[in-house]
Structure 1
Amino acid sequence: MIVNLLLLFLALSTNANDEGYCDLKTKTCDNDFFKEKFILYDVNPPEGFNLRRDVYMRFAIMFAEAKKNKNEWKLVLPPWYKLYHWKSERKNYPIYWSKFFNVDSLKSFAPVVELHDIFTKTETNILNIDHLYVLQNFPDPFENGEFKDKWEIGGDCDYDGEFWGYSNITVTEIVCVKFQGRISNLWDLVAMHPSDKFIMFAHGEIPLHDYYGSKTFWDCRKSMKFNKDLIKTAKQFIADHLNCKEEKCASYISVHWRRQDFARLRRNDVPSVQGTVKQIDGFIKKHSPNTKNVFVASDGQNSELTQLESQLTSIGYKVHFFIPTPSQLNDFKDGGIAIIDQIICSHAAYFIGTYESTFTFRIQEEREILGFDSSTTFNRLCPDSGKCEKPSKWRVVS
């Protein structure tokens, strides 16, 4: 939706001076704001919530490393806007990061700021981006058989984003850049215009991690703590329905059963309803024979979930889903409900995921942080027949 920034300013102006923001009456700002520089980014619109979390980590690590050299740039957290898998949101965009994450914890790792905080520091209702770099892939990433870090300015491109629904964001110049390699190479582009105050990178999913799987990676991942209300709701569900008040629960196993686009486009990686039931039953009998509670996180259709529940119930299991109340859905949004599912899955005695799903990856990361044995975490649902490749194990580094 189009947001009226003037109303936003008025809503936030009551305690603005206490936090060093602009005084809307006198049009004066804290001098620190004039010294700060900000980088925004967005992600290819069809990409989902959990891939976007990984893209954030790439940028956050880039900024955390630069901060060690007293780099003055700050990273602006891109609001969540019109995600493909989110069906319930209508007029509730944009959604800020504090709805899903503990922003103070994010700030403990990297110099990040919410976009609405930037608006409160501007003297007008216009945010002007000096340079918007539209990142593009090279047509042949393995030219001459070798993948190299490189970038090249030029060519034609369009910005296919919507600035998160804001009509008050403008751009002085759009620059097309073919880019491949590590995200830290974006600093070369930033250095081209040292007087810029606001820079934006479109298609932030294109640059790659500098330190994937390293201690720095895990330090960043640990800082991504969830909103406390989401944690409280998930733990209350675990206590009430799964009979556990511990960090590591022995009373249930959890399953992420990815359907929808995976069931249509990746049929060789996911099982049928009957195949899923058979695998869950076999897994429990082999690894946790005394367990009767099965928590399922899924994007499946109601008819599929009903079949799964009925068939598991018929062989002696009690199936649990987190079904939000209308009030919870309104408060937490689709993204918050997904996080609650992930938290519940993370505390189970055993977890079975979906192959190469970013939703599953995030749960595996949470379980690594909680200290579960890898044998209880890196498990997957296999197709009904054919090859079943074992999932990669990305172990926490302390």
Structure 2
Amino acid sequence: MADVAHCWGFLLLVAIILTFTCKTVGEDDLDDLAFQAGNQQNVQFGPAKKMRYLLYSINPGEGFNLRRDVYMRVANLVKLLNEKEPFTLVLPPWGRLYHWKSNIRQLQLPWSHFFDIDSLARHVPVMEFEDFLKVNRKPEIDIIYYLQRFKEGWRDGKWEERIEFRDCIDDTGFKKDKDGRWRWWFWGYEQVYGKKFSCVSLQLEYKGLVPFLMKNADSTVQSIFLGRAEKLTHGSHSEWSKEWWTARRSMRFAKRLRDVGDKFRLENLNSTDETDQTVLDPDWRTMRRERGTAVGGPYMAVHLRRLDYKYAHKENVPSIPHAAKQIKKALKKNKLDVVYISTDAPDDELDELRRELKGVTVTRFERTKEALNEYKDGGIAIIEQWICAHARYFMGTAYSTFSFRLHEEREILGFSPESTYNCFCGTGKDTCDQPSKWITKYE
């Protein structure tokens, strides 16, 4: 009888295990999406802790490279939130931006089109917006916090950290429908709505938002949306901090775009990672490069902003002849005779630059119709950045976020400050202030 009782006890245990481990196929599919959000969790949570989601938007007028900077702020916010509860960062789809001038359709582009999602997820759990809609089962967001300035400005003319619920100052774009749902354009996903909405005035580093969210978004709130997330600042976690650089190092470009840039370098610039000493480690977390270890390809790279910069920053933007003069001087100094040009200059100015650089081999990645359809404006910008990042010597445009991001890329690859932090001087100036020199820091 004892043996029979033991056998029945064993069978009961097996039944209990199966009951708690078996799910329907549909639930498994959704769990797979949730786990794809990231393969790195620093904190282990018990089964009672349900995954929560942080979404965000940015001022529509902001450019591609500034949006990358805002991503780093929000990603590091999610990293801090994960020390409290499990959060996944939902990535806002890309759409047409001011500097994307082509006529091709560019709407609801996923982050995977431009960046390596697995690389991002080694920093914090991330998820595409469309995957969030599948996991969430309903096209709804629990709470929307629209971030704004304080109407009265700084107190006594001094900046101080503070955050308060306030009446909305400007037109937020969010409207309440007849059913009490908060509507916004949500990147063209018209079915999406918010259940609750508040305007929040703040002067705050992103880390200061953690206690606010933990206090005001209780356990019933699964999804939180931050409108105008650029209002958050890096503060003490800016370019000189380990936290900032960790987020930045995770932002590797999509491999297919890097491959296009590498192919161009090989065929047009006699440049490979092996000869340039710029081979990437498979995992950015293990990659540590000393400054000056990267050699770079036998060419100079130039980022020359024109268009709106000729008016917004005219004291820092040279005429075409003066730009050519500075390029030739840098080529001679570095014993190079090939220059790669990345510019938004119109064709007539580019033709003028080529004439001014007579005797110099000038090359660029052509924005053909086929390339634009395949990679989009943002993808071509990344291909150009990747090519510029591997040059033996780089010269950029002052105050341009495109050039800023290139400085960082070259720091990560191990280039020397002397070959990286250079910018054009305005017309009539032979010398001018050069970019600040940041150094990569590791956690």
> What TM-score range do you get, normalising by the shorter chain?
0.7 to 0.9
| Distance of aligned partners of 1:87 and 1:33 in 2 relative to their CA distance in 1, 3 Å threshold | farther
Q: Is the 8 A contact 1:81 1:165 kept in 2?
A: no
Q: Is the 8 A contact 2:147 2:229 kept in 1?
A: yes
What one-letter code is carried by the residue in structure 2 that aligns with 1:170? Y
Tell whether 2:71 aligns with 1:47: no
Which of 115-124 and 162-171 deviates more?
Answer: 115-124
Q: TM-score, normalised by structure 2?
A: 0.79
Alignment gaps of 5+ in structure 1: 1-13, 23-31
CA-based RMSD: 2.3
What one-letter code is carried by the residue in structure 2 that aligns with 1:201? L
1:233 corresponds to which residue?
260
1:146 corresponds to which residue?
158
SS in 2 for 1:251: strand
Percent identity between matched residues is: 37
Tell whether 2:153 aligns with 1:132: no
1:301 corresponds to which residue?
346
Which of 94-103 and 180-189 deviates more?
Answer: 180-189
Alpha-carbon distance between aligned partners in 2 of 1:43 and 1:335, rounded to the nearest angstrom:
16
2:376 corresponds to which residue?
333
| Distance of aligned partners of 1:173 and 1:16 in 2 relative to their CA distance in 1, 3 Å threshold | closer
What one-letter code is carried by the residue in structure 1 that aligns with 2:172? Y
Tell whether 2:218 aligns with 1:196: no
What one-letter code is carried by the residue in structure 1 that aligns with 2:233? L
Offset at 1:308?
A: 1.0
Alignment gaps of 5+ in structure 2: 1-24, 34-46, 174-183, 279-294
Q: Is the 8 A contact 2:80 2:207 kept in 1?
A: no
Offset at 1:87?
A: 2.1
Alpha-carbon distance between aligned partners in 2 of 1:261 and 1:15, rounded to the nearest angstrom:
51
1:88 corresponds to which residue?
102
Offset at 1:132?
A: 1.2
1:319 corresponds to which residue?
362
| Distance of aligned partners of 1:17 and 1:393 in 2 relative to their CA distance in 1, 3 Å threshold | same
Alpha-carbon distance between aligned partners in 1 of 2:103 and 2:152, rounded to the nearest angstrom:
38
Tell whether 2:373 aligns with 1:362: no
Tell whether 2:196 aligns with 1:183: no
Larger radius of gyration: 2
1:9 corresponds to which residue?
none
1:348 corresponds to which residue?
391
| Distance of aligned partners of 1:158 and 1:16 in 2 relative to their CA distance in 1, 3 Å threshold | farther
SS in 2 for 1:270: coil
Superimposed CA distance per residue, residues 96-143 of structure 1 (whole angstroms, 9 cap, x where no aligned partner)? 10000000110000121111111222334xx21222111112356543
The match for 1:102 among 96, 99, 116 is: 116
Alpha-carbon distance between aligned partners in 1 of 2:26 and 2:115, rounded to the nearest angstrom:
23
What one-letter code is carried by the residue in structure 2 that aligns with 1:104? D
Which of 146-155 and 290-299 deviates more?
Answer: 146-155
The match for 1:159 among 155, 164, 172 is: 172
Superimposed CA distance per residue, residues 188-239 of structure 1 (whole angstroms, 9 cap, x where no aligned partner)? 3322131211111111111101511212211111111111110110011011
Q: Is the 8 A contact 1:16 1:120 kept in 2?
A: no
Alpha-carbon distance between aligned partners in 2 of 1:319 and 1:328, rounded to the nearest angstrom:
20
Offset at 1:183?
A: 0.9
Alpha-carbon distance between aligned partners in 1 of 2:93 and 2:250, rounded to the nearest angstrom:
18
Alpha-carbon distance between aligned partners in 1 of 2:144 and 2:48, rounded to the nearest angstrom:
21
SS in 2 for 1:335: helix
Alpha-carbon distance between aligned partners in 2 of 1:186 and 1:326, rounded to the nearest angstrom:
44
Q: Is the 8 A contact 2:146 2:200 kept in 1?
A: yes
Tell whether 2:425 aligns with 1:375: no
Q: TM-score, normalised by structure 1?
A: 0.87
1:209 corresponds to which residue?
234
| Distance of aligned partners of 1:266 and 1:140 in 2 relative to their CA distance in 1, 3 Å threshold | farther
How many aligned residue pairs are there?
370
| Distance of aligned partners of 1:140 and 1:304 in 2 relative to their CA distance in 1, 3 Å threshold | farther
What one-letter code is carried by the residue in structure 2 that aligns with 1:279? Q
The match for 1:117 among 131, 137, 150 is: 131
Offset at 1:43?
A: 0.5
2:10 corresponds to which residue?
none
Alpha-carbon distance between aligned partners in 2 of 1:250 and 1:90, rounded to the nearest angstrom:
33
Tell whether 2:85 aligns with 1:71: yes
Offset at 1:307?
A: 1.1
Q: Is the 8 A contact 1:21 1:121 kept in 2?
A: no
Q: Is the 8 A contact 1:33 1:121 kept in 2?
A: no
Alpha-carbon distance between aligned partners in 2 of 1:227 and 1:354, rounded to the nearest angstrom:
25
Offset at 1:17?
A: 4.3
Offset at 1:326?
A: 2.9
What one-letter code is carried by the residue in structure 2 that aligns with 1:209? H
Q: Is the 8 A contact 2:80 2:210 kept in 1?
A: no
Q: Is the 8 A contact 1:253 1:351 kept in 2?
A: yes
Alpha-carbon distance between aligned partners in 1 of 2:309 and 2:356, rounded to the nearest angstrom:
22
Superimposed CA distance per residue, residues 139-169 of structure 1 (whole angstroms, 9 cap, x where no aligned partner)? 5654324221111211224333631111011
